[in-house]
């Protein structure tokens, strides 16, 4: 399975942008890049996903490098509620079935007031 590499932890100030990096040098052409986050004492929640083009939604933006070997999750204005562990996951698109989620250790984001 293709692997991802993320920093163990990052810090941010409230109301400032946050850029969370992810390296996935062994990504294959059909792997989707997914981001989930897990707030304290909760199950993970979906943030965003993409294949080749940059993606935006109400929660965040996903910037994907042209060679797809890295990506960056962008939180435009961090809030205290964004403090969580962020997981970058490569989703294998298997023929006729759903690729399961393979979580690493993720990046623990701390947000300071």
Partner 1 sequence: DAGVTQSPTHLIKTRGQQVTLRCSPKSGHDTVSWYQQALGQGPQFIFQYYEEEERQRGNFPDRFSGHQFPNYSSELNVNALLLGDSALYLCASSWGPSWGTDTQYFGPGTRLTVL
How far apart, in whole angstroms, are the C-alpha atoms of residue 8 and residue 20? 11
Nearer to partner 1, 2 or 74 (CB): 2
End-to-end CA gap in the chain? 39
Figure out which of the listed residues 42, 53, 58, 81 binds partner 1, where binding follows CB under 8 A.
Answer: 42
Least CB distance to partner 1 at residue 97 (A): 6
How far apart, in whole angstroms, are the C-alpha atoms of residue 48 and residue 54? 11
* Tokens 């939180």 belong to residue: 75
Figure out which of the listed residues 29, 40, 96, 113 binds partner 1, where binding follows CB under 8 A.
Answer: 96
Q: Does 59 sit near partner 1 (CB under 8 A)?
A: no
Longest Cα–Cα distance of the chain, Å, equals 47
CA angle 51, 52, 53 (to 5 degrees): 110
Figure out which of the listed residues 57, 105, 110, 112 binds partner 1, where binding follows CB under 8 A.
Answer: 105
Nearer to partner 1, 28 or 79 (CB): 28
Q: Which stretches of the chain bind partner 1, using CB under 8 A?
A: 30-32, 41-46, 49, 85, 87, 91-94, 96-106
């Amino acid at each position: 399975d293709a692997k991802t590499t993320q920093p163990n932890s990052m810090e941010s100030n409230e109301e400032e942008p946050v850029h969370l990096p992810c390296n996935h040098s062994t990504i294959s052409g059909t792997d989707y890049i997914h981001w989930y986050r897990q707030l304290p004492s909760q199950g993970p929640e979906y943030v965003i996903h993409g294949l080749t083009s940059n993606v935006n939604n109400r929660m965040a933006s996903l910037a994907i490098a042209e060679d797809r070997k890295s990506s960056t999750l962008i939180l435009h204005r961090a809030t205290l509620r964004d403090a969580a562990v962020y997981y970058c996951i490569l989703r294998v698109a298997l023929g006729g079935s759903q690729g399961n989620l393979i979580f690493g250790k993720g990046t623990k984001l701390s947000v300071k007031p």
